[in-house]
Amino acid sequence: MKSRLLPILLSLTLSGLVLAERPNILLIMVDDLNDYSGCFGGHPQAITPGLDALTEGGVRFANAHCNAQICAPSRVSMLTGVYPHVSRNYWFDDWQKNDTLKHCKTLGQFLKDNGYASYGTGKLMHNDHLDSWTEFGVSKDPGPFSFNGKKPTGHPSVPKPFRDIGHIDGTFASLADIPDVPPEGDLPGHKGWITRKWKPFRYVSETDRDLMNDELQANWAVDKIQQLAKETKAPPFFLAVGFSRPHTPLIAPQKFFDMYPLDSLQFPPIKENDRDDCYFSSVFPKWNPLWTEHYRLLTESYADPEEGIKRHLQAYLACVSFVDEQIGKVIQALDASSFRNNTIVVLVSDHGYHQGGKQYLYKNSLWEESTRIPMIVRAPEMEKSYGKTVAHPVSLIDVYPTIADLCGLAGVDNRINDKGAKLDGHSLKPFLINPDTKEWKGPDVALSVVKTPSPGNTLEPSYHSYAVRSRDYRYIHYVSEKEELYDHTKDPNEWKNLADNPEYAAIKDQLKSQMEALTGDLDQTTFRPVRTKENNRSL
């Protein structure tokens, strides 16, 4: 009998953990959320009780960064555990056709293959791989949108020229501000909201309306947690919930706008002509692509430029508080269940978002407001670290190996076959045990990349632009060989580029060496600025 049971026990046991004893995992992904939350201090008026409560009962990574500053490559990198420059996946290409990534298991598939039930809902990847999931819930929908009778359009309450950016980035409005698009030319006009599938979105009042997509995501996740709590012999679960807000269009119910009255809203820290000592335009000329001009178009749309910035900021903060409420619903459901003490909770954003600093209103830059993300981890049996902060730089590439480690699956192959790439990140477990540890095996910098227009659209790493963030400094290396260096101990807003300051030469050289240890040699003498329409896209 014992000899027959042994193979069964071995098949149920990995890294010394019996399957039934493994923790559950709740992963919450938020879209375009920068540090504008109470617990991360990016804006002093941000109201985020859900995030704040999770931080008090978990570990806050205050120096966490994404590895690509736009949705698709950031999410793919995190959920496959492979750096963008390793996979050559920098943009919106279908990762399932990538020569490397198609041979790698997503985090959901990896856990599913190792005894977990994997549940997903909402915006997790741009190209979802449904086979990764035991069950997938509600499809993502960034709407509702304004509609002109034929196609989605910018909201009529937003003045031109900013409105002409389009129905995604050119819209910020309360849900109560029902769009009424007048006829124009051969267009019939239209009153009311529509969804991504061009179906009417019903709105009568704040209490009599259709639910927004993030509300549907939260409700689905709550129902799933309650359903699983009733099952007595279910395997451990991995539940990934993807929320769309505060991604544009910046639409939320009116009560969240009411939290941020315009007349008392604090202006974000913006320095005039802040880009004068920067080199972003050395690889992204001002005419290419459109998103480099969002800030200018917003300020030109109002007689008082500051009014435009404040109104956009109000909508962004309203969306932050809106999604915070949805996060709170899911966490409260988990904590009210029997899973409270046996579930790892990880909350991250896919990247940050500028609110006017460096005359920039978007993501996809190599500056702090674009790369820095909120990251909170709550792990069972590590209560001694709850409420504490990790200052060491980490990044999204570390999420996959951290979850694998905490589930007793460290060292288990993440690849489908040998054509895939092994995990690039490192487990954050040492920081969860001791936030001040010196024993972490990962790098001393967090690496980020921006896809850069290049001759022949080459995917070679040396033709793209990178940044590294250490504890105290940010170093940027553009493919044009221009450089930026910021001292965060003195300049948290990155207002003074020190790259040419001889007093910082040794620091700059050290950071560049650390960058090249992760990426390879980045010196590129054949670069020339390239105009292309490829990057003129916003999702």
Backbone torsion region of residue 359, taken as left when φ is above 0, otherwise alpha when ψ lies between -120 and 50, otherwise beta: left
pLDDT at 15: 39
CA pair distance 362, 77, nearest whole angstrom: 20
pLDDT at 407: 97
**Could you give phi then psi for residue 250, rounded to 5 degrees?**
-85, 80
pLDDT digits (tens, 9 = 90+) for 309-348: 999 999 999 999 999 999 999 999 999 999 999 999 999 9
What is the three-class DSSP state of 210? Answer: coil
In the chain, what are the domains? 2-143+212-444 (3.40.720.10), 146-209 (no CATH)
CA pair distance 296, 282, nearest whole angstrom: 18
CA pair distance 369, 424, nearest whole angstrom: 24
CA pair distance 103, 247, nearest whole angstrom: 30
- Asked if residues 153 and 189 have their Cβ atoms less than 8 Å apart, the reply is no
- Asked if residues 154 and 177 have their Cβ atoms less than 8 Å apart, the reply is no
What length does the chain have?
Answer: 539
* Whole-number CA gyration radius for the chain: 23
Q: Name the packing angle between helices 305-335 and 49-56 (round to 10°).
A: 50
CA pair distance 345, 52, nearest whole angstrom: 14
> pTM score, two decimals?
0.93
Long-range contacts of 456-464 (CB under 8 A, 24+ apart): 457/532, 457/534, 459/88, 459/90, 460/88, 461/85, 461/88, 461/519, 461/520, 461/522, 462/520, 462/521, 462/522, 462/523, 462/524, 463/524, 463/527, 464/85, 464/90
In tens digits, the chain (539 residues) has pLDDT values of 344 333 333 334 443 344 448 999 999 999 999 999 999 999 999 999 999 999 999 999 999 999 999 999 999 999 999 999 999 999 999 999 999 999 999 999 999 999 999 999 999 998 888 888 999 999 999 999 999 988 899 999 999 999 999 999 999 999 999 999 998 888 888 999 999 888 999 999 999 999 999 999 999 999 999 999 999 888 999 999 999 999 999 999 999 999 999 999 999 999 999 999 999 988 887 656 778 899 999 999 999 999 999 999 999 999 999 999 999 999 999 999 999 999 999 999 999 999 999 999 999 999 999 999 999 999 998 999 999 999 999 999 999 999 999 999 999 999 999 999 999 999 999 999 999 999 999 999 999 999 988 777 888 899 999 999 999 999 999 998 999 999 999 999 999 999 999 999 999 999 999 999 999 877 755 555 544 444 433 33
CA pair distance 69, 512, nearest whole angstrom: 20
Helix ranges restricted to H, 289-373: 294-300, 305-335, 368-371
Closest CA to 159 of 290, 316, 297, 289: 297
CA pair distance 351, 77, nearest whole angstrom: 12
